[in-house]
Structure 1
Amino acid sequence: MDERFRRLVARREQTANERSEVLAKRKAITDLAEEEAREDLLPEEDAEFRELTGQIRALDDQLSQLDERIAELSAEAERDATVTAGAAAVKRAKARVSSVTESRTYERGNGRSYLQDLAKVQLNMDSGDARERLLRHAQDVATDPEYRDLDRTDGNGGYFVPPVWLMSQFIELARAGRAYANLVTNQPLPPGTDSINIPRVAAGTATAVQSADNGAVTEQDLDDDFVNAPVRTIAGQQDVAIQLLDQSPVSFDEIVFRDLTADYATKTDLQVISGSGASGQVTGVRNTGGIETITYTDATPTVAKLYSKVADAVQRVHTLRFMAPTVIAMHPRRWAYLLAATDANGRPLVVPNSGNPQNAIATLGAVAAEQVVGSMHGLPVVTDPSMPTNLGAGTNQDVIHVLRASDLLLFESGIRSRVLPEVGSGNLTVRLQVYGYLAFTAARYPKSVVEIGGTGLIAPSF
């Protein structure tokens, strides 16, 4: 029905254009008579006028019929949408009923510990209850849509996919600690691969003015290549005494998992920003070949000079990427440096946006951590403490990035967990691990990133 609807709309548009053309022709006849100060049309003009009027009448009839059919299809689509929405509401209601009648195996606060059960099964300390709960949990993972929403990657892991509420906690902590990584385009990591090849156009086609009629037409073949993003692993572990596992009155898995995944998020952010591309690291933005750099060298830096450098960075993305940048990323101390700046009369140069400021170099949007805090040059400013602050000869310089974040690609797996009893069996110790995979590239469009650095960005004084 969508295709039929589009065809009807296209026909109506074409008919309306034809009617406008006929009207213009008819008006031209009367305009000529008025210009020549004639009260009556000439016989041939009158005949043409009547013929055009008949065409307009016929086109009006066609428009009326098309409008009627379009209205019928629109009404039918609305009825279908209503039925679909009703069916979806029923499905949600059934899901709510199901969730009331049968809760998940590892609900927060129900006294059951996911990692504790996992460890008991692998340590052969289970009387059967822990294995049964893990089997029910594996069924939850396979059938519950919430798990499928959270598990963005390489298949369901059964036992080894943590409970939903722990995953929710992971996402919350991860987003708080990976501001830069959250800016870029994030996609699920494809299964069964150790690297991702992303095609790109290396040399494009060409056009030129034809020298003369029948002259040769310019031809230039398109050339393509690819950008390679190897898959890397981030992992962490914690050794725990078996006494804590066996005798603890609380679910210690929440504490361990939260701390490991918080650091996992930070390491992901650092990889996106500064990964070296060697020793198992991805190639981060700063080490991507071809990104634009602006050196701000100044023994007596000022906010006004820095403002000009940021303006230069913005125009470079426009000029070299041919599209607009989307965000400015900087360390919190650099944003504080801007907030602390005042004019000759002691008035701040960055003021709250709600005050309708005039002649401000930037506006303060929110007193927030690791997210959008304001705007500058019409772009949102995001602060991230993972931005380096140890650069330069004095190892005290930071950098500012102006970037089109949508051009950067981050592929991530879901997080996984393991319990390993063997490694510390001689000391009654078990090892808890979390791990996940990522691939990242900023090399598709390196000119989407402009880095500002130099002696003008030394540690500010307040």
Structure 2
Amino acid sequence: MSDERFRRLVARREQTAREREDILAKRKAITDLAEEEAREDLLPEEDAEFREFTAQIKAKDDELRQLDERISELSEEAERSRSVTEGAAAVKRAKARVETVNEARTYVRGNGRSYLQDLAKVQLNMDTDGQARDRLQRHAQDVASEQEYRDLNRTDGNGGYAVPPLWLMNQFIEVARAGRAYANLALSQPLPGGTDSINIPKVATGTTTAIQTSDNGAVSETDLTDTFITAPVRTIAGQQDVAIQLLDQSPVSFDEVVFRDLTADYATKLDLQVISGSGMSGQVTGVRATGSIETVTYTSATPTVAQLYSKIADAVQRVHTLRFMPPTAIVMHPRRWAYLLAATDNNGRPLVTPDAGNPQNNIATLGAVAAEQVVGQMHGLPVITDPNMPTTLGAGTNQDVVHIVRASDLLLYESGIRSRVLPDVGSGTLTVRLQVYGYLAFTAARYPKSIVEVAGTGLVAPSF
């Protein structure tokens, strides 16, 4: 069983479970609103959203069952093979102790010898004195006593050079990148093909009604007018040129390493576009750049949690008042959520407590110690943290913002992420270009009043 494959499956299951919880929270917000307003039935728009979320939850349940089956199969396979491999490993280790002398490994970090350089010399027939080949042969004997075994043996010509030093393999660390928590809130649809912009019709001014002053009196009549909003299709792309020797000879599937890193950064850049895209230079118009969104200014030289709590309450009521529908989420930077978690009353008691145990007099509840997903509730709304939320705003360039949104009003069209391997670009130097790209269109302009940004000097970087 591949440890990397198993880790990827487990990570995928955890991500799917988090996505399911997010959808559950969105669906619950619909029924909670109906209960608050003492309505037995959902409004048509709410019913459509409820059914859509239910279908999404069912799809996530099916995906989780499939992942659980695959993880279980891999685990059982590992258990079956362990008894066989342990015996073989013991024999090989014993043989290695008898046949090898007590000397340092051929490739040890800091000893001046490069495994990859020797590998390239041998493959390109540049090993004129044979020393690189000798070192690789000794290295093949070194790794023969290690715990990792493969079908190929490690002698010259049968895979002996394909196993890198353990320190090179075991200490590989991927770049940590933020995900796309905000973008995942938006109503996502497949991007239609054959277009460079999406035009969405919108009613500009509506009809009117009025009291009829008397029988046979004039009836109010106002002509409806319409307009449209445009969401241009934009491109996110990235690439990495890699020596073909690295792809051919590295057992770590280095192309997967590159593609995984490019894809992770793609998600980060898409999330940043949804939040802060400028609408210029090939960018989409993100939420913050959308005209006519509401802003609650929070100005304070000595900010407090109580002040922020009231500002967020103001933002919530503005969505109710101007959009005539409830908001569905609060989005903030992890540092702002940590600021709330650290807050205490005059007796040192925390103001944000776990939702278990029926807390009282708290301003919010802690739902989960999690990243880039629902972490708790405030004002009855799920709180989602996203490290891509800006933190360098204001005169002191150290302010962040908090968004209160009705997520279903945000519209995100996405293509699938596409990958390409281009060997011809650097064929003269045995270089391969690995490339990923994808298309997106986004708009928050359908109902800009469903978005409220809390910003100002009261949201300077918190101290802990």
Specify the TM-score bucket, using the shorter chain as the normaliser.
Answer: 0.5 to 0.7
The 2-side partners of 1:302 and 1:432 are apart by: 49
SS in 2 for 1:284: coil
| Cα deviation, residue 424, structure 1 | 2.2
Correspondent of 1:409 among 408, 411, 416 = 411
- Out of 265, 268, 278, the residue aligned to residue 266 of structure 1 is 268
> Number of matched residues?
292
Measure the CA separation in 1 of the matches of 2:450 and 2:322: 8
Instruction: Give the CA deviation at 1:251.
Output: 2.3
Aligned to 1:386: 388
Whether 1:460 aligns to 2:462 is yes
* Alpha-carbon separation, structure 1, partners of 2:306 and 2:176: 35
Alpha-carbon distance in structure 2 between the residues aligned to 1:222 and 1:454: 38
Q: Secondary structure at the match of 2:182?
A: helix
Aligned residue for 2:461, secondary structure, equals coil
Note the 1:209-228 alignment, pairs <5 A: 209-228=211-230
Deviation (angstroms), 1:242: 1.3
TM-score, normalised to structure 1, is 0.62
Matched residue, 1:183 = 185
Aligned twin of 1:355:
357
Structure 1, gaps ≥5 residues long: 1-95, 101-172
Matching residue of 1:256: 258
Percent identity for Structure 1 against Structure 2:
83
Cα distance in structure 1, aligned partners of 2:402 and 2:358: 26
- Is the Cα contact below 8 Å between 1:174 and 1:265 reproduced in 2? no
Corresponding residue for residue 317 of structure 2: 315
Structure-2 separation of matches of 1:194 and 1:346: 56
Check whether the contact 2:178–2:268 (CA below 8 A) recurs between aligned residues. no
Find the counterpart in structure 2 of residue 423 from structure 1: 425
For the residues of structure 1 that align with 2:200 and 2:248, how far apart are their CA atoms?
A: 49
Deviation at 1:246, TM superposition (A): 2.9
Inter-partner Cα distance in structure 1 for 2:248 and 2:183: 38
What is the letter of the counterpart of residue 424 of structure 2?
Answer: E
- Residue identity opposite 1:251 in structure 2: S
Q: Deviations over 1:192-237 (max 9, x none)?
A: 1100001111000000000100111111111111110000000010
SS at match of 1:293: strand
Q: Is the 8 A contact 2:203 2:225 kept in 1?
A: yes
Amino acid at match of 2:453: E
1: CA distance, partners of 2:280 / 2:178: 27
Alpha-carbon distance between aligned partners in 2 of 1:184 and 1:174, rounded to the nearest angstrom: 24
1:159-178 → structure 2 map (5 Å cutoff):
177-178=179-180
How far apart, in 1, do the equivalents of 2:296 and 2:454 lie?
5
Q: In structure 1, what is the Cα distance between the partners aligned to 2:407 and 2:176?
A: 18
Shift of 1:174: 13
Pair member with larger Rg: 1
**Distance in 1 (alpha carbons) for counterparts of 2:247 and 2:353:** 53
Q: Does the residue aligned with 2:288 lie in a helix, a strand or coil?
A: helix
- The aligned amino acid for 1:396 is N
State the partner residue of 1:61. Answer: none
Distance in structure 2 (CA, Å) of the matches to 1:455 and 1:174: 30
Is contact 2:293–2:448 with CA below 8 Å preserved after alignment?
yes
Q: CA RMSD in A?
A: 1.8
Distance 2:332 2:428 in 1: 48
Counterpart secondary structure, 1:363: strand
Mean Cα displacement is larger for which, 420-429 or 356-365?
A: 420-429
Cα displacement (A) at 1:175: 12
Q: What is the CA distance between 1:176 and its match in structure 2?
A: 7.0
Q: Distance in 2 between matches of 1:175 and 1:428?
A: 30
Amino acid at match of 1:364: L
Which segments of 5 or more consecutive residues in structure 2 lack a partner in the other structure?
1-68, 74-174
Shift in Å at residue 427 of structure 1? 2.5
| 2:377 maps to which of 340, 364, 375 | 375
Would the aligned equivalents of 2:197 and 2:232 in 1 still touch at CA under 8 Å? yes
Instruction: Select between 392-401 and 239-248 the one with higher mean Cα deviation.
Output: 239-248
Q: 1:344 to 1:228 in 2, by over 3 A?
A: same
Check conservation: 1:175, 1:182, Cα contact below 8 A: no
Corresponding residue to 1:451 among 446, 450, 453: 453
Q: Are the aligned partners of 1:179 and 1:384 in contact in 2 as well (CA < 8 Å)?
A: yes
Paired residue secondary structure (1:411):
strand
1:352·1:363 contact (CA, 8 Å) conserved in 2? yes
| Pairing 1:123-142 to 2, within 5 Å after superposition | none
Mapped contact 2:177–2:264 kept (Cα < 8 A): no
CA deviation string 1:170-193 (max 9, x = no partner): xxx999710000011000001111
Tell me which residue corresponds to 1:146.
Answer: none
User: Residues 283 and 247 of structure 1: is their aligned pair in 2 closer, same or farther, counting only changes over 3 Å?
Assistant: same
- Please give the alpha-carbon distance, in whole angstroms, between the structure 2 residues aligned to 1:254 and 1:242: 14
Equivalent position SS for 1:267: helix
Provide runs of 4+ in structure 1 moved above 4 Å: 173-176
In 1, distance between residues paired with 2:374 and 2:327? 15
> 1:184·1:405 contact (CA, 8 Å) conserved in 2?
yes
Letter in 2 for 1:194: D
Deviation of 1:286 (Å):
0.2
Letter in 2 for 1:456: G
Which residue does 1:283 correspond to in 2?
285
Match for residue 204 of structure 1?
Answer: 206
Could you tell me how far apart the structure 2 residues matched to 1:242 and 1:410 are?
Answer: 37
Sort the Cα spacing of 1:335 and 1:182 in 2 relative to 1 into closer, same or farther, 3 A.
same
Q: Aligned partners of 1:445, 1:289: CA distance in 2, in Å?
A: 10
Secondary structure at the counterpart of residue 355 of structure 1: coil
User: Are the counterparts in 2 of residues 294 and 452 from structure 1 also a CA contact under 8 Å?
Assistant: yes
Deviations for 1:366-424, whole angstroms, at most 9, x for unmatched residues? 00001000000000000000000000011000000001010000000001111122332
Aligned partners of 1:179 and 1:383 also within 8 Å: yes
AA at the equivalent of 1:179: A
Distance in 2 separating the partners of 1:308 and 1:250: 53
Whether 1:292 and 2:297 are equivalent positions in the alignment is no
What SS does structure 2 have at the residue aligned with 1:300? coil
**Letter aligned with residue 286 of structure 2:** G
**Deviation (angstroms), 1:261:** 0.4
Aligned match of 2:53: none
SS in 2 for 1:287: coil
Deviations 1:342-380 (A, max 9, x none): 000000000010021111100000000010000000000
More helix per residue: 1 or 2? Answer: 1
